[in-house]
Homo-oligomer: A and B are copies of this chain.
Amino acid sequence: MASVPPDAASLDVVGIGNAIVDVLSHTDDAFLIERGLAKGAMTLIDAEAADRLYACVGPAVECSGGSAANTMAGIASLGGTGAYIGKVKDDQLGRVFRRDIHVVGVAFDTPPAADGPSTARCLVLVTPDALRTLQTYLGASAELGPEDIDPATIGRARITYLEGYLWDPPRAKEAFLKAARIAHEAGRKVALTLSDPLCVERHRAEFVDLVNHHVDILFANEAEITSLYQVADFESALRQVRGRCEIAALTRSEKGSVVLSAEEFHVLEAEPVEAVVDTTGAGDLYAAGFLYGLTHGHDLATSGRMGGIAAAEVIGHIGARPETPLAALVKKKLG
């Protein structure tokens, strides 16, 4: 198979993930080292640790984040149709999250939690090398459960896109598996991003099983895919993943990406970027471009290039969602 053909589905993609508001601030390596924070990765922290860290990071800006939510915002910016499933609380930051995803045209109807922990926050610490270190307090997002998976929404979407981060909160995993089952029963495709190397560490065996049995389209970066198969290099990981799912789209930062299926293998160069300001959202936006391409009749190589273009936009500025309409950008680059 080369691409997901247009059919009667009324949505291109439904994304399911942890609904999070990002708190972005600039920092330096010394700050990370002093506090023993895992640079470049996502670490889960509790409310108390989040408050403690928040109190000592520098001037910050808040903006909606969440990996799959960023991807959905990217798909909408490309002109695609999408829905999002995730849990916020009915508080100010929850309303900010809801507004930001609605305003770009993504349907988001998961009922907010009326009480319990506050809307999830991710402290995004951007170092001068533009790398980001994520410290996440899952809060209300961890309340997502199978009851939040609307079968009609999943059935209407060509692709159901799931973030590996969902394996962290206890009940989201059930939601995840329910969504995958409904999607496949409706003849739809299931896509997964491995999300983060530490997330792969935490859930390796289950992720290997998922990829073998439940996932049609896999997204991972080099660190994630080599960790998944516990191999030393990218080439070994490629041999491992081939044939295990229909399509794998593997990103390699400035080295571009590799897209492969049973019959195809494409090595794609990275899009040129003037200045890398903040890599937050690079993987999320690559997935956005790729899924948009796939659901709009483009071949694997073109879909991969769309992913690269979307990723290049988002790393050129602070924040994990596009600032420039991606549809126009892709048109300019691909004609």
Contact indicator B92/A59 (Cβ below 8 Å): no
CA–CA, A214 and B100, complex, Å: 44
Residues from chain B with a CB closer than 8 A to the CB of A328 are none
- Other-chain contact of A93, B56, B92, B103, B323 (Cβ < 8 Å): B92
Least distance between A80 CB and chain B CB atoms (Å): 16
Say whether chain A's binding surface is mostly helix, strand, loop, or mixed.
mixed
The reply to whether the CB of A321 lies closer than 8 angstroms to some CB of chain B is yes
Residue A61 CB within 8 A of the other chain: yes
A99 within 8 A of B: yes
- A59-B91 contact, Cβ under 8 Å, with A26-B323, A54-B99, A323-B26: no
CB < 8 Å neighbour of A63 from B61, B93, B100:
B61
Please, which residue of chain B has its CB at the minimum distance from the CB of A25?
A: B103
A294-335: contact bitstring with B at CB < 8 Å (1 yes, 0 no)?
000000000000000000000000110111000000000000
Q: State whether the Cβ of A41 lies closer than 8 Å to any Cβ in chain B.
A: no
Q: Which of A17-67 contact B (CB under 8 A)?
A: 26, 54-64
Q: Are A103 and B63 in contact (CB under 8 A)?
A: no
| Contact (A60, B63) CB under 8 Å given A92-B91, A318-B318 | yes
Asked whether, in the complex, the Cβ of B59 is within 8 Å of the Cβ of A321, the reply is yes
* Interface contact A103-B59, CB-CB below 8 Å: yes
Bound form: Cα–Cα A58–B323 in Å: 9
Decide yes or no whether A166 CB sits under 8 A from chain B. no
Q: Is A104 among interface residues, defined by CB-CB distance under 8 A? A: yes
Closest to A24 in B: B61
In this assembly, does A141 line the interface, its C-beta being within 8 Å of a C-beta of chain B? no
Q: Once the chains bind, are A58 and B103 in contact (CB under 8 Å)?
A: yes
A56 contact set on B, CB distance < 8 A: 103
Known: A91-B92, A92-B91, A318-B318. A323 touches B103 (CB 8 A): no
Q: How far is the CA of A307 from the CA of B103 in the complex (A)?
A: 37
A26 CB contacts on chain B under 8 angstroms: 323
CB neighbours (8 Å) of A104 from chain B are 58-59
Query: Are B59 and A61 in contact (CB-based, < 8 A)?
Result: no
A182 at the interface (CB under 8 A from B): no
| A134 beta carbon closer than 8 Å to chain B | no
The 10 A-B residue pairs whose C-beta atoms are closest, nearest first, are A92-B92, A61-B63, A62-B62, A61-B61, A92-B93, A59-B321, A59-B100, A91-B92, A59-B104, A61-B319
New A-B pairs, 4, CB < 8 Å, besides A60-B100, A61-B63:
A26-B323, A57-B103, A59-B100, A62-B96
